[in-house]
Structures are given as C-alpha cells and as structure tokens.
Chains A and B, each alone.
Chain A
Amino acid sequence: MKMTMTRRVVMTAAAATLAFSGTAQADDHQVLEELHFIIPGGAGGGWDGTARGTGEALTKSGLVGSASYENMSGGGGGKAIGYMIENAESLDNTLMVNSTPIVIRSLTGVFPQSFRDLTLVAGTIGDYAAIVVPADSDIEGMDGLLAAYADQGPDFAVGGGSVPGGMDHLVAAMVMQAAGEDPTALNYIPYDAGGKAMAGMLSGEIDALSTGFSEAIALAEQGEVRILGVTAEERVPAYDSAPTFMEQGIDTSFVNWRGFFAAPGASDEKVAQYTSALDAMYETDAWEEVRARNGWVNIYNPGADFRSFLEDQEKVIGDLMTELGFL
C-alpha cells in the first residue's frame, strides 16, 4: 500500500476506524437520520481520520442516527470531487471531507474544479504552521533567522514535507515575504514527508524547517527543536511559549484547515441541517474525546464565513504562487 507520510497522517491516523458504523439511540436532538462521508483518500490518511472522527462524534452524541464512510482515492483527491459533481442529484445526506490542498490544487490546475463547484458546509478543525530550528542552533528568534539568511544567502536551506509550491513551501515563502525578503530567493528543500524533513533538519542537512504547529510542539516539548514562530494571530494556549510571527513584526497568518463540502446544488434547508449538527457537535463530550485523541484544534468556520475564508486564502496563496512562478 503506497501512502505518503504527511503530517496529516501523523496527526490524525489515530482516528482511523475502518469498520466503524455507529448507530445511536434516536434522541430528541437528532438532526439527521443518516450521513454518508466521501473520503478522497485511502484508509489511514488525514482525511480519513477527520471524516471518521467527526462521524464518530456525531453518532455517539446522537446528533446523527448512523454514519457510513466511503474511501474514494484517485487523482490526489480529484476523483472524489468529480464524483460529487457528477452525481450531485443523488447525493442526499452526503459530505466530502477536504482541506487546504483543494485550494492549492485548484489553483495549479491539478483539479479541473475548485471549491466553488461544491456547496460549502464548514471548516471544522485546523492546525497552524510553524518555522523551527534545532534546539542547539544559535538562532533564537526570527531576527536571528533573517540575519543568518542575509549572511548565507542560498546556503541557508529551509526544508519542508511538501513539494515546491506545496503548503510547507508556501508558508515559508509567505513568512519571508512578510519579513521583507524576496520569497523566490529562498532555497526550499522538499522532502516527501514531514518526519523525513524533521530528520533532515536534526541531521544538519538543512538549517530550518517549515512544518505543522502540532508536530512542532511534540518535538519542542522533548527539547529537540526551537519554535521560532507560529502562524496564529495570538499565542496558542496549547504551547504558549512559542511566539507568533506577528509579535515579531512579521505580519502573516495561516491556517491549514479541514472541513466538509456537500454536492453542488444542495438545498439551503439541507445545508442548515448539516451546520446545525456540526454546531451542536462542538458542545458534546464525544467530540471533545475525539478532538483530544487526535490533537486537533477547533477552528469552526461555517457557511458564509467559510466562503470568505476560502476566497481569502485562495487570493493570498494565488498571489504568492504567481510571484513564486508556479502559476
């Protein structure tokens, strides 16, 4: 089984339950009788964990009668999007899980469609990004990193677990741009997985690493890395000794979100049902258990907010990718 080991796998595989199909007692507060999840990737991946974890919380709390799951990999997720569009009329009670890459891949044309071709339901969870250096590095903060970068130029290598033009590269470029540097001059070294990129940095092959915040916390707590900045607007309570980029005068923020989409043309009534189920889910113990188990951060963005968030992210990423020469 071929699977690339991304941070999304690392952080969320814990929720993968291949054969979970819970049926809870019909309750007064049940919003939907049944819900079907389309997962654009294989079992054990990040999308898989998000869909199954959400389904678990919804059924255990009685908000949804029963949940079923369908893994539909192919085309890096494009196949599932095509399926949602082609079969829109017959897809009642069906949600597809997706995340930041839908924005990036639509921009590059890997997907012929974009989030606009689907009905937006909500962004439910997310993770911030971070730039880290080894704990024994001389670099203490972003000032130090920028000084070292000015000093070493292209010899200063920043790595990440995504392709050039992928999320880790874009975050690093976004930070450099906000700090007044030329984002195209950055020597970005791609790895095929976050773990291998981390090993590359600790072995001294690269000087700094662009990675997911939750992954960075785990290694910072073990005294292996120092977090120079996080892309949140304010310090994150889960690890508040990590400074934000904003407080260091670098005006940039970024959220790697995960959320749900319905088939195009879904009725307003149906979408209202989906969002009210998700709304109520955040208050339940079942969700808190799933969330804590996976180390997810609640970043809830329903309906119209989700649209403006995505349009905003598409604009920021699109401009940056154009500048970097990927578009």
Chain B
Amino acid sequence: MLEGIMIGLEAAFSIQNLLLVVAGCLIGTFIGMLPGLGPMSIIAIMIPVAITLGDPAAALILLAGVYYGAIFGGSTSSILLNAPGIAGTVATSFDGYPMARNGQAGKALTIAAVSSFAGGMIGVVLLMIFAPALSSVALLFHSAEYFALMVVGLSAIAAFAGTGQVTKALMMTLLGLILATVGEGALFNMPRFTLGIMDLQSGISFITLAMAMFALPEAVFLVLNPAGSAGGQDGSRKITGLRFSRAEGRAMVPVIGRQSVQGFFIGVLPGAGATLASFLGYAVERNIAKGDDQAEFGHGSVKGLAAPETANNAACTGSFVPLLTLGIPGSGTTAILLGALIALNVTPGPRLMTDTPEIFWAVIMSMFIGNVVLLILNLPLIPYIAKILSIPRNYLIPFILFFTLMGAYIGQNNATELLMLVGLGVMAIIFRFADYPLAPLLIGFILGRMMEDNFARSMQLYRGPDFILERPMTLGLLALALILVVLPSYRARRARKRAEGVADGD
C-alpha cells in the first residue's frame, strides 16, 4: 500500500493535476451552489474537457474534484435560501436554515464546511484502506435489504414526533409517498396517475418539488412576515459569529465520527447513496441525542446540521467503491463517471488496482488534496457568501424567486416544470399556513419510489412476503426502524413520568 501511496502522491502532486484539483473544486463549488444544477449535470458538462486531457488519471482527478465540490457547495443554498439544490442536501436544510434564520448563517456554513471536510477525509481513509475488501460489502444487500433500509430511512420522520405533530407528519409522509407513484415506474410498463397529461409521464421531478416545498413558501413568508424571517427589514442584521464555540465543537466530534463511518458504508451500497445516508444520519443522531439536545433538532441544532453534512460527503466517497472495484455505478453521477472512464480506455473493475494502480492511487490522493483545497477555498469565502442574507428583503425575494424558477427549468428545459412548480408551491404555502411540516413530504417522495421498487422485486423473487422472515438482515433492519420510531415517544413518556415523580415530592 505504501508503494501505491507514493505512486499516487507523485501523480497527484504534478503541477497539472494540482491545478486540475483546484479548478475542479472551484467549478464544482460554485455551480453546486446554484439550485437545480447538481453534480450530475456539472460532470456531464465537464466530460469533454476532461477527455481532451487524454490522461485518465488527470481526467478522473478533475471530475472527482467537480463531484465533491458540487456536494460541498450544494449545502449553501439549503442553508441560506432553504432551497436544496440536490436531494443529498435536503436534510441539511432541516437545521441549517433555522440556524441561518437565527442570524447564525456564518456559523452554519462553517459547521457544514467542517463536517463535509471531516466526512470526506474519513471517507477517503476508509476507501484507501478497505476498498478491495469492500467490494463484497457492496454486494451484500439484496432488494429485500434495500427495502428495509428505505423503511429505516422513513423512520427519519420520527424526528418530528417530539413537536406534537405526529399525525400531521405522518399525513405529509403519506402524501409524499403518493406523489412518488406518479409517472412510469421501474416495475410497470404503463404510466400511472398521470391524468393523461404527457408531462407527468416522467413523474414529478425532485428539484421542482423541493423548490416548491421549501423555497417558494419561504419567499412568500418573507413578504408576509417582515420581522421574523431572514434578512431583517433594514438589511443590516449582523451575521454574528462565523465560528462555533468550543462546546459546540465538542458536541460535533462524536456525530462526525459516527456519521462518517455510517455514511461511508451506506454510500458503498450501489442502491442507496448520499440522500439516504443524510436522512439516516439525521434520524440516528436525533434518536441518540438526549433531552434538550434532542428538542433542539429542527430548530438550528449543531448536531442536526453536522450529521447530514458529514454523512452525505462520506457517502459520496463511499460510492467510489463499487465504481472503482466492480465497475458498477450506484448513482446517475457515478454512471456518468463510468462512461467517461470507459471513453478513456480505463475499465474499472477488480483488475483496476492490479493493472493500473497509478490511476486508483492518483484518484485517492487527489481526494485528500481536494478536500483540503475545498476547506481552504470555502472558509475565507463564508463571510461574503453569508452576506447574501443581509441583502435588503426587496432585493432578496426576487433573487430567491429567480433561482427557484431557474433551478426548476434548467435541468430539463421544460417550461411545464414551471407550472408544476407554482402549482405545488401554492399547495405548500397552504400547508405551511396550516402548520403542516413539509420535510416529511419530501422524505416520503424521495424514498417512496426506491422502497416500492425494492419491495416489489423482493415479492416477485420470493413469491410473497416471506423474504422478511427468510433474510435475517432484512428482519434486523425492520426491527431497527421500529425502534427508531418508538424510542422517542417511549423516552418522552418516561421523562414525563419522572417529572411527575419529582412533582410528587420524590
């Protein structure tokens, strides 16, 4: 391995490759900040450039830099505008946006940058040490386990249980699951629930829904509620404290430790990915937090922000395991990377590490460098980026609306997306007036399709629901989901009882 590291360092530290890492990270970060343009579109744009480089290691270094740069930058719009540009940063807005609204935008961005960095770095170390051994882990899960894992992911909605909105959260989750069934699924030959409208055949796009649920209502509430929302009337609200305190740092360390490992392993599974990793990270951390810490989740909790940000970056690194060691893409983004590699005459697979170790190691080393570069690039920029929120409201609102509309349109070039955005946005505004939480809807929507596909596949393979009992890991995961759902209310009850005990003069 040491020899490999040396080869990799030599390749990664050439002037050209260093410049490529920096360029890739910069491009990725800035485009990633724009809602609507995820890593997949950016990489698709960059591929012709990468291919003209001719050298597969250089090309992959550039594209990988763009990839984790985009994930890094993607959290910015979630935190500042409540407009998650990619599915992987939806969970980031749960606590990142409330924190920004409390005037701590700078701190939120710093926490996101630091946790992303830590998640990425720990992920690369795991990738470096365990990559060959992990190829078998990537193949451990069958559809039955993926189904169970999606159920565990859905248990993230238990995070809303404490707010006295259990019924509302459940209703919104169901609505999300229902919306996910629109269009042509993977399992049926015909489109479902499209009302004969051609534009619904491909289903509702995630970006459109996310913009409609989060960003549009936010813009409307900024108009309606001059005092309470981001920015402030005079536009001079101070962005206090770019740094987090020592105590907050201490609180983050165990979260980062757990979530980088958990996120990485979820990323290794070809059927899971960064989005699931971020939801699970959020759910798990909320469940193991205690007392006041737990109550703070959803209202700007440091842990609630660090968890998904660590997990999604670790998962992105993890997704390189099936790509490099098996040649199997687990996501749209890694599928495009695979296409680029094959175009450069590199066939990823079990023989990549023995046939062309310099490519494998150069990529690993460039990931280290890339993460450091991202941190160095991002930290000094944070005060300026955070200032977006001190723009006077009459300029900020059109700005948010512009990015929202652009985000929905740009991916597909389909003007009907704008109509759907506005329609769904009106629905979201009504829900928000009625005080329904919108995040569970999005969780249900993202996980619904994957859950249904994997469930139906398992049913077909086992010709019935026997897989739940026949596969111990499935049963275990489902039990875990149950615990994650029940535990918070059990704890709340016990706490209530204890409080009553105290009142009794105990």
Cα-based distance from A206 to B350 in the complex (angstroms): 21
Known: A2-B207, A190-B187, A196-B271. A218 touches B342 (CB 8 A): yes
Known: A10-B339, A199-B326, A218-B347. A76 touches B202 (CB 8 A): yes
User: Cβ of A203 and Cβ of B350 under 8 Å apart?
Assistant: no
Would you give the 0/1 interface string for A36-54, flagging 1 where the beta carbon is closer than 8 Å to chain B?
0000001110000000000
User: Cβ of A75 and Cβ of B199 under 8 Å apart?
Assistant: yes
Cα-based distance from A5 to B328 in the complex (angstroms): 12
Known: A203-B141, A293-B343. A44 touches B44 (CB 8 A): yes
User: Cβ of A79 and Cβ of B199 under 8 Å apart?
Assistant: yes
Check: B138 CB closer than 8 A to any chain A CB.
Answer: yes
Would you give the 0/1 interface string for B385-429, flagging 1 where the beta carbon is closer than 8 Å to chain A?
000000000000000000000000001111010000000000000
Check: A238 CB closer than 8 A to any chain B CB.
Answer: no
Known: A218-B342, A295-B343. A199 touches B413 (CB 8 A): no
Q: Which A residues are CB-close (under 8 A) to B198? A: 74-75, 78-79, 82
Q: How far is the CB of B200 from chain A (nearest CB, A)?
A: 8
User: Cβ of B413 and Cβ of A163 under 8 Å apart?
Assistant: no
Q: Which B residues are CB-close (under 8 A) to A74? A: 198-199, 201-202, 412, 414, 416
Cα-based distance from A157 to B343 in the complex (angstroms): 32
Known: A166-B189, A199-B271, A202-B328. A14 touches B340 (CB 8 A): yes
User: Cβ of B40 and Cβ of A222 under 8 Å apart?
Assistant: no
Q: Which of A41-72 contact B (CB under 8 A)?
A: 42-44, 70-72
Q: Which of B322-368 contact A (CB under 8 A)?
A: 322, 326-332, 334-336, 338-340, 342-343, 347-352
A-B interface pairs (CB < 8 A), number: 205
Interface size on B, residues (CB 8 A): 67
User: Cβ of A195 and Cβ of B47 under 8 Å apart?
Assistant: no
Cα-based distance from A218 to B336 in the complex (angstroms): 15
Shortest Cβ distance from A154 into B: residue: B463
Q: How far is the CB of B289 from chain A (nearest CB, A)?
A: 33
Q: Which B residues are CB-close (under 8 A) to A20? A: 48
Check: B129 CB closer than 8 A to any chain A CB.
Answer: no
Q: How far is the CB of A48 from chain B (nearest CB, A)?
A: 8
Q: How far is the CB of A235 from chain B (nearest CB, A)?
A: 20
Contact partner of B139 (CB less than 8 A), chosen from A9, A190, A192, A203, is A203
Shortest Cβ distance from B44 into A: residue: A44
Contact partner of A44 (CB less than 8 A), chosen from B326, B336, B338, B352, is B336
Shortest Cβ distance from A206 into B: residue: B461
Check: B36 CB closer than 8 A to any chain A CB.
Answer: yes
Q: Which A residues are CB-close (under 8 A) to B436? A: none
Interface centre among B40, B44, B184, B203, by most A CB within 10 Å?
B44
Q: Which B residues are CB-close (under 8 A) to A76? A: 184, 191, 201-202
Q: How far is the CB of A109 from chain B (nearest CB, A)?
A: 8
Check: B233 CB closer than 8 A to any chain A CB.
Answer: no
Check: B4 CB closer than 8 A to any chain A CB.
Answer: no
Shortest Cβ distance from B450 into A: residue: A192
Check: B186 CB closer than 8 A to any chain A CB.
Answer: yes
Check: B457 CB closer than 8 A to any chain A CB.
Answer: yes
User: Cβ of A12 and Cβ of B339 under 8 Å apart?
Assistant: yes
Q: Which B residues are CB-close (under 8 A) to A206? A: 461
Interface centre among A82, A205, A326, by most B CB within 10 Å?
A205
Q: Which B residues are CB-close (under 8 A) to A196? A: 270-271, 330
Cα-based distance from A7 to B440 in the complex (angstroms): 32
Check: B460 CB closer than 8 A to any chain A CB.
Answer: yes
Q: Which of B426-468 contact A (CB under 8 A)?
A: 453, 457, 460-461, 463
Give chain B's interface residues, CB within 8 Å of chain A: 36-38, 40-41, 44-45, 47-48, 51, 86, 138-143, 184-191, 198-199, 201-203, 205-207, 270-271, 322, 326-332, 334-336, 338-340, 342-343, 347-352, 411-414, 416, 453, 457, 460-461, 463
Give chain A's interface residues, CB within 8 Å of chain B: 1-5, 9-20, 42-44, 70-76, 78-79, 82, 108, 110, 154, 157, 163-166, 187, 189-193, 195-196, 198-200, 202-206, 218-219, 221-224, 293-295, 326
What are 27 of the A-B contact pairs (CB < 8 Å)? A1-B37, A1-B41, A1-B86, A1-B205, A3-B40, A18-B41, A43-B41, A43-B44, A72-B413, A73-B412, A74-B412, A78-B198, A78-B201, A154-B463, A165-B189, A187-B460, A190-B457, A193-B329, A195-B328, A195-B334, A204-B142, A206-B461, A218-B327, A218-B342, A222-B327, A222-B347, A222-B349
The 6 A-B pairs at the shortest CB distance, nearest first, are namely A222-B349, A192-B186, A75-B198, A44-B44, A165-B189, A1-B411
Known: A1-B332, A43-B41, A203-B139. 14 other contacts (CB 8 A): A1-B37, A1-B205, A3-B40, A9-B339, A13-B339, A14-B47, A14-B336, A15-B47, A74-B412, A82-B198, A157-B461, A191-B453, A223-B351, A224-B350
